[in-house]
């Protein structure tokens, strides 16, 4: 299956880059956060508020592990890497690309984490979250593309080159 799966921190541009990349390659675009919201008929922040983080992460894993696609760009939620089953599935159906940004750039881009539906514990800072997730992104990625300080078109070009497109 000729898919590209985008992983990375909230705010790194997975959805924005994904849409442009899909248009550029003539691929479909899938946003797994939107699939979760459609299945649950609630916003991500509502799911987290009503069900808690553990259940949210289970739902996220179920949805991502069930994605069937061809010639698609799949933008995942930042917490997808907590689900081993989902990540194994995504690695099997496509090339997993970690969109890496520095902590400083992520911090600058993000607004209210709760409003964005970010899977973060109450006792966890953005820095803690970044430090926890980066090794997971690196473990699951087939390819890492550093987008720090780059324009959207340059990130898209780097992903295409890294994936042989």
66 found inside a domain: yes
14 found inside a domain: yes
Domain count, the chain: 1
164 found inside a domain: no
Q: What is the pLDDT of residue 123?
A: 82
Using CA atoms, how far apart are residues 145 and 41, in angstroms rounded to an integer? Answer: 33
Host domain of residue 106? 3-156
Contacts (Cβ under 8 Å, ≥6 apart) of 60: 32, 36, 77, 79, 80, 82, 83, 86, 119
pTM of the model: 0.92
41 found inside a domain: yes
Q: What is the pLDDT of residue 117?
A: 56
33 found inside a domain: yes
Domain containing 37 — which CATH number?
3.40.50.300
Query: Could you list the pLDDT tens digit for every one of the 165 residues in the chain?
Result: 689 999 999 989 999 999 999 999 999 999 999 999 999 999 998 999 899 989 999 999 999 999 999 999 999 999 999 999 999 999 999 999 999 999 999 988 886 565 555 667 778 888 899 999 999 999 999 999 999 989 999 999 999 999 988
165 found inside a domain: no
124 found inside a domain: yes
163 found inside a domain: no
- What three-state secondary structure class fits 6? strand
């Amino acid at each position: 299956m000729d898919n590209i799966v985008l992983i990375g921190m909230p705010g790194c541009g997975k959805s924005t880059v994904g849409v442009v990349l899909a248009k550029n390659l003539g691929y479909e675009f899938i946003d797994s956060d939107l699939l979760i919201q459609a299945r649950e008929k609630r916003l991500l922040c509502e799911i987290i508020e009503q069900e808690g983080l553990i259940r949210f992460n289970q739902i996220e894993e179920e949805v991502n592990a069930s994605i069937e696609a061809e010639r698609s760009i799949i933008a995942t939620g930042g917490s997808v890497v907590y689900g081993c089953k989902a990540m194994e599935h995504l690695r099997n159906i496509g090339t997993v690309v970690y969109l890496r940004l520095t902590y400083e750039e992520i911090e600058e881009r993000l607004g209210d984490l709760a409003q964005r539906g970010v899977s973060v514990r109450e006792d966890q800072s953005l820095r803690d979250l970044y430090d926890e997730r980066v090794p997971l992104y690196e473990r699951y990625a087939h390819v890492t593309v550093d987008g720090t300080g780059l324009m959207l078109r340059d990130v898209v070009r780097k992903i295409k080159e890294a994936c042989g497109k």
